[in-house]
Each structure stands twice: as C-alpha cells, then as structure tokens.
Amino acid sequence: MWKLRRYLAGYKKELILGPAFKLTEAALELTVPLIMARIIDIGVANRDIDYIIKMGLVLVLLGAVGFGCATVCQYFASVASQGTGTVLRRSLFEKITALSTAELDRFGTSRLTSALTGDIYALQYAVAMLIRLVIRAPFIVLGAIVTSMIIDLRLSLIILTATPVLTLAVYLIMSRMVPFYRAIRGAFDRVAQITRENLTGTRAVRAFSKEEYERIRFRATSDRLAEITAGAARLTALLNPLTYVIINLGIAAVIWFGGFRVEGGYLTQGELIAFVNYMTQIMSAVIVTAGLVVTFTRASASAARINEIFDTITSVDENESAAVPDEDGTRPAIRFDRVTFGYGGIPALRDINLNVPRGSALGIVGGTGSGKSTLIRLVLRFYDADAGTVAINGINVRDMPLGMLRDKIGYVPQHAELLPGTIAENIRMGDQTVSDDDINEALHIAQADFVLQRADGIHTEIQQDGRDLSGGQRQRITIARALARNPEIFIFDDSFSALDTLTGQRLRQAIDERYPKTTKVIVSQRASSVKNADIIAVLEDGALAGCGTHAELIASCPVYNEIVNSGRRDP
C-alpha cells in the first residue's frame, strides 16, 4: 500500500484535519465518564438537582460538539477516499489501455475489471478508515488506561491486565482470518469470471444446450466461495463472545475489588462507574482495531494486485518521441524480414520474409492456426516480433509512434466489434472528422445500404456489440468504419466470412474501384477470397509455404492446391 501513497498527495488537508477532529471527539468521549462520576458523587449523593441538570447540559453540549467533530471528520474522510479512488481508477485505466495485447492476455479481462472495481473500492474504504479510526482507536485505549491510572492506580492494574489479554485474543482470531479473506478474493474473481463468460457467450451456451453444465460449474464455484466465506464467518463468530467474556470478567473484577476500595474510602461510587465505562470503551476500541486489521489486510492484498499492474512494463513501447525517418517512396508498403514470433514460448511464426509493394493486394491464406491473424497483428504492433523486422513504407514499425502507425491502417478485425451508440459514432471511431457524406459513401461501398434505409439512417442507435444486428450487418459496418478513414493500407482479417459469396464479391469489387492505389491485405481461409490478389502468401504451421500469384501457386504449391481443392468440395 505504501507505493500508492502518491495518490493521497492532493488530500493533505483532509489527512491532517480529519484525524484532528476525530481526536477531539475521542477526547470528549473520554471526558464523559469523569462527568458522570461527578454527577453521581456530587449531584446524586447530595440530591442536588440543579447540579445534575447543569452537568447534564454539559453532557449534551459535549455530545453535540462530538457529533459535529465526527461529522466534519466523516466529510474529510469521504472527500479524501472518493477523490483518491477516482484518481487511482483513472490512472489504472490509463495504464491498462497502455498495455500491449500480450499483457492484457496475461492478466485477463476479469482480473482487470476486478482491479478497477473491487480492489480500488477496498483501497477507498481503507483511506476512509485511516482518517476516521486509525488514530482514534489507539487514542481511546491509551486515554482510558491513563485516566483510570490517575483515578486509582491499584484498580487500574485490572485494566492493564485485561487490555493485553483482550488484544492477544483478537490478534489470534484475526491472524487466522487473513488467509480466509485472501482466499475469498480469489474465489470472488473466479465467480466474476464465470459470470462474464456466460453473459458474453450466452448464444453459444444455448446453441449447444450447455445451460445445465454451466449451472453446475457456476454452482460449484459459488459453493466454494460460500464455503470459504462460512469458514471466515465461523471464526469471526468467536470474536464477540470471546471479547465480551474477557471484558465482562474485567468489569466483574473492577466491581468486586472496586467495592473494597469504595468501602475503604479510596474510591468513590462515581469513580467506580467511570472505571466500568473505561473498560467498555477499551473493548469497543479493540474490536474496532480488529476490524481495521481486516480492512487493511484486504486493502493490502488489493494494493498488491494493483501494483502488479502498474509495475508491468508493456512489451510494445509507445515510442511517442521517436524521430521518424523520412519515408522512401520506393520501399514496399509492408515488409517482413526474417520475422519470428511466439505466444509464451510456443512458436506461431517462423522466419517470414515477404514484401508487399505499394498499391498492391496481398492475400494471406492458410488453415486454422497457421499464423495468418498473428502476422497482421505484428503490422499493427498488437505484439512485437521476437526476431526480425516489420516495416511500413521502409520504416521499422518500432520506430513509429503507435498513433502514427495505426493512422496509416484501416483494420477490420475477424470478429466485428461495435460499441453502444449510433452507427455514425461507431464509424467515426477511427476519425472524428469524418463527415456524414463520407460515412454514407463508406456504407454504400461496404454494401451496408440497409443502414441508409432505416428511419434514423446513420444515427440509428445500436446495442453493445451490435446485438440487434445480424453477423453480416455488423461485419459490413466495421468494414465501413475502416473505409471511412481512407488510410494508406487496408487489412481485412477474414472480414468477409460473415457475408454471402455475391455480397463479398460486390464489396471487393467496390473497394478495388474506389481505392485503386491503396495497399490491401486480405486474410482468409478460402482461396476464392484471395485468388485475384497480386501476391498470395500461403502459411502452414507458422511458416511461409508458398508465395506468388494464383496461377503460380497452383503450379508450384501443394498446400495451396489442397486449400483450393477443399474449397471446391465445399457445398
């Protein structure tokens, strides 16, 4: 947690004034038993109603002032905790968005979502408790002990004995609860992960009638969470009875031995009542301290998870300050020079050499898992090659700021990804300056005239992931999003798979006619989608099995012939 203290820098006033007001309230609370003692010893003993009323008003005044101090402290605690959480959440989100795809894959969506929500909430709560109770609880314990010693040193030995015993009992219970809370956090993450998987994959689950399987899987995970939580609850259940036994034994001892002190004239009845009150205050403060241990244990675990994200160095450097060399108009639009890459040590691409001239069309074809999508992800720098060089217009992609690199590329992913909002807002994701006319033209080229036929046209609202659209409609909108940018390079990652053959042919023809000088990269598993490309690269198990035109590959590449023949056999 100490590493995150920088996020408290803007709340120094709250960190000072909040505890100060809380200490004032605690000091007033410690004064109450002394006033009660005077009411009993003077007012009640002498039947002095006026004195009782006067001191009663003093108690009311102390209560009002204490309430005001507690309220001000609560305000400062809220400002500091919510402000710190907001700044931390914003900073963490910026860090997450700066991570490369490799790091995002390693952490996982559920873990990152949990960090932005549950973990930061735990830290917010810890900050609030830091201001409200961290100083107050020890102050109450020490104040009660010191005051009792001033009243009667001998009788205070009971409090001095009971307090360490009470503290030890609380410590023994809480030390065994810490592992439970850490396990609960992990189990909760697992429940969140399964929930997310089912909500996002609900169509697949229902299509394969896996509802019962998923219910069983969720029930098992949920039961595990309940089991761990119940274990912690059973241990927590010992806390209150044990502390009350110790405190009540202490109170009984105070009353027993205090009675002899009162009889001997060493102690008044009011002072004996004050001792009992101080014992109760100590018990409350120790129990609060136990709760703080739990709070800061949870916060410490959350801070460790957040720091792990902050300490992660992205494998893809932004390189925003790089001095980008001048482009050489004679260099290939895209060049792969002895490129090798793997996921977690498992090879995905091996020694790829490939040149794509400007304005040409490159088709990348191969079976599932051959490395097609991985190859183009290296162009976009979603990942960096383990060895070799990927260059755009003769410039190593590592030497370009990511913004500049991706502005040159219109990318259509394999799975259509749309955000909630209007169709126009989704198409403007790549360029906010795109006009309505440009959007309409891009939709027309993408064979997405169905949008223009709707009542609201491009201003039609769509749901998250475009769930109210068909797969083909979503795909055509994402294609229009890439076209509207009018980039130097188009990359279509198996983007025509959701389209029927006729629509796909019309779309490719329209793109060729409208963007004749734009470099195009088309990834597909079907030879029919790439056979008219200027260059066709055939991948097999991450290696380049052949490169050339359709006719050349038919004559020389067995892998390509197998792909062509399998396409002919498709119904």
Q: Where are the domains of the chain?
A: 2-310, 334-569
* % of the chain beyond a pLDDT of 70: 96
To the nearest whole percent, how much of the chain has pLDDT over 90? 15
Q: What CATH topology corresponds to 334-569?
A: Rossmann fold (3.40.50)
The whole-angstrom separation of Cα 471 and Cα 478 is: 11
Using the structure block, give the residue that is written with the tokens 């290296």. 378
Q: What is the dihedral of CA 24, 29, 34, 40, to 10 degrees?
A: 140
- Indicate if the pLDDT at residue 75 is higher than 90: yes
Q: Find the range with the poorest average confidence among 56-65, 279-288, 549-558.
A: 279-288
Q: What is the pLDDT of residue 107?
A: 82
The residue-averaged pLDDT of 332-359 equals: 88
Q: What integer pLDDT is reported at residue 570 of this predicted model?
A: 45
Please report, for residues 152, 529, 534, the alpha-carbon distance to residue 520 in angstroms, rounded to integers and kept in the order given. 91, 13, 10
Backbone angles phi, psi at 197, to 5 degrees: -60, -40
Cβ partners under 8 Å of residue 96, min gap 6? 104, 112, 116, 309
- Per residue in 521-540, pLDDT (tens digit) is 999 888 888 888 899 999 98
CA distance 467 to 200: 11
pLDDT for res 521 = 92
Q: Determine if residue 255 is left, alpha or beta; phi over 0 gives left, psi from -120 to 50 gives alpha, anything else beta.
A: alpha
Q: How far apart are CA 204 and CA 201, in angstroms?
A: 5
Per-residue confidence at 569, pLDDT binned at 50, 70, 90? very low
- 571 band by pLDDT with thresholds 50, 70 and 90: very low
**Mean pLDDT value of segment 440-455:** 85
At 237, is the pLDDT very low, low, confident or very high (cuts 50, 70, 90)? confident
pLDDT band with cut points at 50, 70 and 90 for residue 433: confident
pLDDT tens by residue, 160-216: 888 888 888 877 877 777 777 778 777 877 887 788 778 777 777 787 788 888 888
User: Taking the CA of residue 306 as centre, how many other CA atoms within 13 Å lie in the half-sphere pointing to its CB?
Assistant: 30
What gap in Å lies between CA 517 and CA 116, rounded to an integer? 45
pLDDT tens-digit map of 387-413: 999 999 888 888 888 888 888 888 988
In what side-by-side order are the strands of the sheet with 346-356? 346-356, 334-343, 387-392, 395-396
- Same fold for the pair 2-310 and 334-569: no
Fold held by 2-310: ABC transporter transmembrane region fold (1.20.1560)
